Structure 1
Amino acid sequence: MRRSTIRSTLCWLALMLAPLNVQAAAPAAEKVPEYALDPTWPKLPLPNHWALGLINGIHVDAKNHLWLYHSPELVPKYALGAAQTPPTGKCCVAAPAIIEFDEAGNVVRAWGGPEDAKKQGYDWPSAGHGLYVDYKGNIWIGGSQTRVGADGSQPDGLYLKFSPDGKFLLQIGGPGPSKGSLDTTQLSGAAAVDVDPVTNEVFIADGYGNHRVIVFDADTGKFKRQWGAYGKPPTDEKLPRYDGGPELPKQFNLVHCIRSAKDGLLYVCDRLNNRLQVFKKDGTFVAEQVYEPMTKGSGSVGNVSMWPDAKNTFMVMNDPGNFETVILRRSDLKELSRFGHYGTYAGEYQRNHQMEFDLKGNIFTSEDFRVQKLKIVNGVKP
């Protein structure tokens, strides 16, 4: 075959294949936000020589303020010189458990901890976990401990609700061991909540000890309904964690997050099974997706947060087992980008626990003793 004939044939093939190639490449060309560390957030040092313990939860409210929940009792002893009697150094004292930061990273207010609980007459979690700001501005926190601690502390079977200034409003459950995943009076290591502004229901990821989503009235604490994986009744059967194979587990293994989208769908993180499951508000199963199926350790699906546009086009997902941030397209749960790696320097992740969008699409990440802010650098906006 002559060279001219070969060249003509190749050009014809290229023209015939071009529409297919363009169509296949369209999703990859989707404008996805890209990020870089914002070293100006928060404003440091924190006031009053404050030091932070383990970061238990973060959430962004309707004013674009970040709320942070940490464990004051887990500030390292070497950092508490100013709290000793007499002081052994100028730094530091443990910060209050709940801190509100404004958009610029300044502390707005802070409150909470075991002493506040004693004064107001409610139970404080033994091992704090999760913070959520509901549509009324109220603050929800829980705890993840499922056994009696070495210090005699009780398992966390509760979730708490407060006003923005720290006034105690509601306690669901109480300290003590699980009564089983079908019991409606007690939680067990509940990891996260989401509150529906339409029905005023609180959806709880009751997942360190129990294996379910459970729903209560957000004002009275009255039980409404519950479900396990695939919308089936939850069980307490001891199941092995997912092994990465084709057969997916029939029950949850550490329900670590729950988050609602504006269209009413609920997204549930089944952390140790490396998957995200989607439900309607009544518990009807809709879809699921597995990510990095061979991941062990902390698992690959830690939490999700919704991109703040009208359709919640994207989600950010925390992958704690691989020390990465993942951007998903919400409509089909497809992974669009993945970045991050292990390390202790600014912009790296050591024990990434939670990732949250703010109202401008920036991302906040929490670890044991710090929160970092990642800002959009490619002009994509919600």
Structure 2
Amino acid sequence: MRAFLAAALTLPFAVAASAAPPEQALAPLAFEQIAPAGTKMPRFKVDAAWPAMPGDLLLGQVSGVAVGPDDSVWVVHRPHSLTATDTGLAESPATAVCCKPAPPVVRFAQDGRYLGGWGGADSAPTVDGVNQWPASLHGIFVDKAGSVWFGGNGKGDHVVMNYAPEGKYIRSFGRRDKTGGNDATDQLGNPSDVNHSDGMVLISDGYVNRRVIGFDDRTNSYKGRWGAYGKPPSGPVLQGTFDQSHAVDPSRVADPKSAIFNSIVHCVVPTKDGHLYVCDRNNNRAQLFKREKDGGLTFVRDLAIAPETGGTHTVTDIAFSPDPEQTYLYVADMMNGRIWVLERKTHAVLGAFGRIGRQAGQFTWLHSIDTDSAGNIYATEVNTGRRVQKLVFTGIE
């Protein structure tokens, strides 16, 4: 067996970053039209050949995706979600011809070529004897300068990290192993998502706490915190460590009209016209806010998506069509395994695509989405999904 492995490992498993892009393999998506017949909306096909992973690397649960200013596609994943039967090549001695976990932060070209990756405890600072690298990465954002932001929802992951695109640590907010509840102004509670724009760093602080918190991007100083409807954050914080059993807790009944955020405040996604969507996943809704010049948030409206849904619930992430008006709004629905298409101006639901499943264009624990300048959508899956898919924009029909 060892001799076999030694021979096998000389085969060209690894794919260089400069390898040719994969040839597209487009396949149809399940689609439901909800708007009246004749209503035009974006259409997509899934590219089953995207991305081109190196032959010796494997992704675990892919817990975030973000498209950079150059249309490169960044993902964060959870190497610890892989088992020894997935990663026999990483065992010592090797027990299989494949595979090894990919680096925690991975970058792809728009055409699917693997451009490299980085991350891990060696890249992060140690503060008061505690390494600040999150145990379980969650959410990713790439700002206009190309720097990379992400949080974590594992044990003690009360931190948001900011890195240069080549993997050099820049700064962080919060501190691992330190959390202070909804009223804390310098500590976080398992942050799920982050955005850096318009002079602010906005964080959905939502697996332990139930709020959005903001910081000045120049001074790193606290600017404000908000709960549902823009009121002071309230509601019980999670006691103990989050695990995925909490995501399917039957006692978490959605209430799209609730006065407070439910557990798992899951995204912060700004628009080009000065607004912000916040995903209140376990209440099956997003809330829309206006971003004020002083950094404050003013409530505008609720947006309920499949409000009767149970299980892991619905609104897990939001993205937009890339036109200047951001005409179309895309909402990732974890439990129903679909992406809803809305007209952003009116929030009218036009249709939905995708379904629960494991084939190309289907979703298992659909988690995060983003769009590129060509209108393509990238979607990730966690739990047993463990992949990122590219949904190719084919036009408005």
TM over 0.5: yes
Q: Write the distance in 2 (CA, Å) between the matches of 1:323 and 1:316.
A: 13
**Are positions 1:275 and 2:275 aligned together?**
no
1:238 Cα shift? Answer: 7.1
Name which one, 1 or 2, has greater alpha-carbon Rg: 1
Which ranges of structure 2 fall in alignment gaps of 5 or more residues?
1-33, 239-250
Alpha-carbon distance change, 233 to 288 in structure 1, aligned in 2, over 3 angstroms? same
Alignment of 1:1-382 (within 5 A): 29-43=38-52, 46-47=53-54, 49-117=56-124, 123-145=132-154, 154-196=155-197, 198=198, 200-237=199-236, 241-243=252-254, 248-253=257-262, 254-281=264-291, 282-368=296-382, 369-377=386-394, 379-380=395-396
Q: Closer, same or farther in 2 for the Cα pair 1:289/1:93, shift >3 Å?
A: same
Same amino acid, percent of matched pairs: 37
State the partner residue of 1:6. Answer: none
Where in structure 1 are there 5+ consecutive unaligned residues? Answer: 1-24, 146-153
Offset from partner CA, 1:40-83 (integer Å, 9 cap, x none): 3112xx22601111112101111111001111222221021111
Going from structure 1 to structure 2, the CA distance change for 1:119 and 1:159 (only over 3 Å counts) comes to: closer
Cα RMSD over matched residues?
2.2
Q: Give the corresponding residue for 1:10.
A: none
Number of aligned residue pairs: 342
SS in 2 for 1:360: coil
State the 1:380 CA deviation: 2.7
- What TM-score, normalized by structure 1, do the two folds share? 0.84
Give the Cα separation in 1 of the matches to 2:113 and 2:218.
31
8 Å Cα contact 2:151/2:192 also seen in 1:
yes
1:170/1:221 contact within 8 Å kept: no
Higher relative contact order (CA 8 A, sep 6+): 2
Partner of 1:9: none
Indicate conservation of the 8 Å contact 2:254/2:313, yes or no.
no
One-letter amino acid of the structure 2 residue matched with residue 273 of structure 1: N
1:114 CA drift (Å): 2.1
Equivalent residue letter for 2:41? V
More deviation, 271-280/351-360: 351-360
The structural deviation recorded for 1:118 is 6.0
| Cα distance in 1, alignment partners of residues 344 and 162 from structure 2 | 29
Structure having the larger proportion of residues in strand: 2
CA distance in 1, matches of 2:219, 2:327: 33
1:267, distance to aligned residue in structure 2 (A): 0.5
Give 2:10's aligned residue.
none
Q: Which has the higher helix share?
A: 1
Residue 27 and residue 341 in structure 1: after superposition, are their counterparts in 2 closer, same or farther (change >3 A)?
closer
